[in-house]
Amino acid sequence: MTSSSSKPVALVTGGGGGIGLAACLQFARRGYRVALCDLDGARAEASAEAVRAAGGEALHLVTDIGDSAQVQALLAELRGRWGRLDAAFNNAGASALRTALADTEEADWERVIRTNVTGNFLLMKYEIRWMLEQGGGCIVNNASVFGLGGSTSAAYTASKHALAGLTRSAALSYAAQGLRINAVCPGLIDAGMGARFIERSPEQVTAALALHPAGRAGTAEEVAQAVVWLCSDEARYIHGHLLPVDGGYGAR
């Protein structure tokens, strides 16, 4: 029988719902203990309870990933509780209206860049340091299809391209030291930001779905399955890959 202390540990940021919650549940099904964080404490607690209800172990924390001290405190708490970090899904992100560059307010630019770029830089910095110390680990970032192509949202597109670049840079730097670093690039997903877009802009959804050859929005579970696979031994020779989970959007 496997002891709790020998089980691998996964960290999921933005774990309070949508893709984050689906990833927490997928990791738990694969035998991971799951640490999750979110800005919304009630949502984080609800996700942790969902993991426990499914038979898994969960730790939840409230964290602003754009704050270095809070990121370090998150990982210190995890280290003190479970002592290891085998996989990290850096999923937390800030959305932005579909605003062209000249119409983008500086405050919106700074908000999106702070979370999507600086926040994920901080997470990777301290996750990588810990994983190097323990001799290995896997990181998956959520880079979006807009990290591969463009959209009219200047701030969001720029932030996701930056995250794609951070992913590849880190993968090149640390592949020989036992770390695997990749990203998923979801298309329109019927959860989280995607669900809010579907609810808010039904006329735009029809146009968006026309760009997805699969003819439908994806599910949070489909993204989560790709994330957990990238963290598995089945993907052990994959480094620096930006994996579209997009119903064929990027193949057009």
The reported pLDDT for the residue numbered 198 is 67
Over range 53-59, report the average pLDDT. 98
Total length of the chain? 252
Report which of residues 25 and 209 the model is more confident about.
25
Lowest mean pLDDT among 5-9, 52-56, 83-87, 234-238: 5-9
> What is the residue-wise DSSP string for 100-157?
-GGG--HHHHHHHHIIIIIIHHHHHHHHHHHHHHHT-EEEEEE--GGGTS--S-HHHH
Mean per-residue pLDDT over the chain, rounded? 93
Report which of residues 1 and 189 the model is more confident about.
189
**Residue 3 binned pLDDT confidence (cut-offs 50, 70, 90):** low
The reported pLDDT for the residue numbered 190 is 87
Over range 54-60, report the average pLDDT. 97
With contact defined as beta carbons under 8 Å apart, do 246 and 212 qualify?
Answer: yes
Residues with active-site annotation? 156
In the chain, the domains with their CATH numbers are 9-191+221-244 (3.40.50.720)
pLDDT tens string 194-218: 667 667 677 777 888 888 899 999 9
The reported pLDDT for the residue numbered 245 is 96
With CA atoms as reference, report the closest residue to 98 among 89, 108, 88: 108
What are the φ and ψ backbone dihedral angles of 17, each rounded to 5 degrees?
170, 175
Over range 149-176, report the average pLDDT. 96
User: CA-to-CA distance for 175 and 78, rounded, in angstroms?
Assistant: 24
Kindly report the pTM of this predicted structure.
0.94
Q: Is the pLDDT of residue 86 over 90?
A: yes
Q: Is the pLDDT of residue 237 over 90?
A: yes
Q: How far is CA 220 from CA 114, 174, 185, 191, 205, in A?
A: 24, 29, 12, 6, 17
pLDDT tens string 169-197: 999 999 999 999 999 999 989 887 766 76
